[in-house]
């Protein structure tokens, strides 16, 4: 009789378990769909924004070359062109974020030596370094070949080095250190700039986050640079961390897996 009872109870229990597991599956599926929809939305939105921005820019460029009696026109058009450039930059960065979500593994296969990548990036910012009279020092602790995936490492380091330059004051120093430990490479980027308030540190990787602190407001940006750096790091299993003190400076650390 006992055996029979067990057999009667079992299907009820099984049904409930089945409901639970199919409920979880449905939930997971819905989360996956939502993530996919968001990715698709960002990509579509960026494509849709690109075309009107390019055509607006074209129109204004024609207008600015025409003779005009009123000085105000020139100022207004110049202002509009600057705003269009800002929007174009944000659009390009959103599109890049959507593409990084798609994670193209083929891109991870192109390797570059870390010191030469850093030198390539520094050349891009020559003018800003010169204008602010910054002292940028690259210290390499180990001479063995330090190879990293070029595409993603460039996106990480470009954004972090750009910030170190942007948030430094005139005549300050930036030290970039490369230390190789076993099969990982640690890259430290240390600036002496305006620093980040402690309560802001957990938010710096959020999309569009910009510190409300006064010194930060005078510096232009859209708050997407570090989101791109973080997403690129995830694609190649690199780890980014940071330490910062307001008015003393910021140090970003990136841990790359060394490739050979």
The binding site for ligand ADP (CB under 6 A) comprises: 159, 163-164, 167, 191, 193-196, 204, 209-211, 216, 221-227, 250
- Cβ distance 172 to 157 under 8 Å? no
Could you give the CA distance from residue 160 to residue 226 in angstroms, rounded to a whole number?
Answer: 7
Closest approach, Cβ 30 to ligand ADP, in A, equals: 30
Instruction: Establish how many alpha carbons lie within 13 A of residue 143's alpha carbon, considering only the half-sphere containing its beta carbon.
Output: 0
Q: Toward ligand ADP, which CB reaches closer, 43 or 222?
A: 222
Closest approach, Cβ 254 to ligand ADP, in A, equals: 13
Strand 184-191 relative to strand 239-245: parallel, antiparallel, unpaired?
unpaired
Tokens (6 digits) for 6:
């067990």
Closest approach, Cβ 225 to ligand ADP, in A, equals: 3
Tokens (6 digits) for 59:
């129109």
Burial 52-83 (b: 16+ CB within 10 A, else e): ebeebbeebeeeeeeeeeeeeeeeebeebbee
Tokens (6 digits) for 230:
């973080």
Closest approach, Cβ 164 to ligand ADP, in A, equals: 5
Q: Toward ligand ADP, which CB reaches closer, 180 or 250?
A: 250
Q: Toward ligand ADP, which CB reaches closer, 77 or 97?
A: 97
Q: At what angle do helices 71-101 and 2-65 cross, to 10 degrees?
A: 150
Q: Toward ligand ADP, which CB reaches closer, 180 or 232?
A: 232
Q: Toward ligand ADP, which CB reaches closer, 108 or 191?
A: 191
Strands (E) located in the chain: 111-113, 135-140, 147-149, 173-181, 184-191, 239-245, 249-257
Closest approach, Cβ 204 to ligand ADP, in A, equals: 4
Residue the block writes with tokens 């009123």: 70
- Phi, psi for residue 200 in degrees, rounded to 5: -85, -20
Residue the block writes with tokens 């599109």: 95
Closest approach, Cβ 208 to ligand ADP, in A, equals: 8
Closest approach, Cβ 196 to ligand ADP, in A, equals: 5
Q: Toward ligand ADP, which CB reaches closer, 24 or 138?
A: 138
Report the DSSP beta bridge partners of residue 253: 188, 241
Closest residue to ligand ADP: CB criterion: 221
């Amino acid at each position: 009789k006992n055996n029979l009872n067990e057999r009667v109870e079992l299907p009820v229990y099984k049904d409930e378990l089945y409901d639970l597991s199919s409920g979880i599956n449905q939930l997971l599926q819905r989360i996956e769909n939502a993530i996919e929809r968001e990715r698709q939305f960002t990509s579509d939105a960026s494509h849709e924004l690109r075309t009107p921005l390019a055509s607006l820019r074209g129109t204004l460029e024609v207008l600015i070359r025409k003779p005009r009696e009123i000085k105000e026109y020139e100022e207004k058009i110049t202002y509009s062109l600057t705003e269009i450039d800002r929007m174009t930059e944000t659009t390009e960065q959103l599109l890049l974020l959507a593409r990084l979500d798609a994670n193209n593994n083929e891109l991870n296969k192109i390797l570059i030596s870390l010191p030469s990548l850093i030198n390539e990036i520094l050349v891009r910012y020559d003018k800003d370094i010169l204008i602010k009279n910054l002292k940028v020092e690259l210290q390499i602790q180990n001479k063995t070949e330090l190879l990293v995936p070029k595409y993603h490492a460039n996106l990480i380091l470009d954004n972090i080095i750009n910030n170190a330059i942007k948030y430094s004051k005139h005549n300050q120093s930036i030290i970039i250190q490369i230390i190789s430990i076993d099969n990982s490479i640690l890259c430290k980027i240390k600036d002496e700039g305006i620093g980040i308030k402690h309560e802001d540190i957990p938010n710096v990787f959020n999309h569009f986050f910009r510190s409300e602190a006064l010194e930060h407001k005078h510096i232009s940006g859209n708050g997407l640079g570090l989101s791109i750096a973080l997403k690129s790091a995830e694609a190649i299993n690199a780890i980014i961390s940071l330490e910062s003190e307001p008015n003393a400076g910021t140090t970003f650390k990136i841990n790359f897996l060394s490739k050979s």
